[in-house]
Amino acid sequence: MSAGRAAAAPRFDLPEPDAFTRPYWDAAAEGQLLIRRCAGCGRAHHYPREFCPYCWSEEVGWEQASGEATLYTWSVVHRNDLPPFGSRVPYVAAVVDLAEGPRMMTEIVECAHEALRVGMRLTVTFREAREDGGEAVAVFRPAG
């Protein structure tokens, strides 16, 4: 660190890809949402894991999701002191039901807070996680 220059505050919103999750982050950077599906029981899951959380099979693979979802629940966050969330408040932290079955934690964008409704149809979009490109994070907006 150079003299007179403060260390940057840690970022809590940036993904940390590893060899296993790299396909997920590469697809997200290209505007595609991936989920995992078990060959043993046929169920899909999200977040990406190397085993099925339902039957414990290790025969799971990547699958492109449709990007369609419905709103399960949400909270409008008015205060968050962790960088960079403070500059985004108020924002909508949400849980959505993907069309393929899994629930996913996310953020709702491009929607007035008072317009949010349980069961509303949503579609995935992506926000760049870093100013220099690289990873993108799946967020959702109203469908149509």
Tokens of 78: 């008015």
Mind listing the pLDDT tens digit for each residue in 5-52? Answer: 556 666 666 778 899 999 999 999 999 999 999 999 999 999 999 999
- CA 102, 26, 17, 1 dihedral sign is negative
Which sequence spans correspond to the domains of the chain? Answer: 22-142
CA neighbor of 54 nearest in space, from 37, 71, 67: 37
Q: Quote the pLDDT of residue 1.
A: 46
pLDDT of 66 higher than 90: yes
* Cis? peptide before 91, omega within 30° of 0: no
- Taking residues 100-114, report their average pLDDT: 97
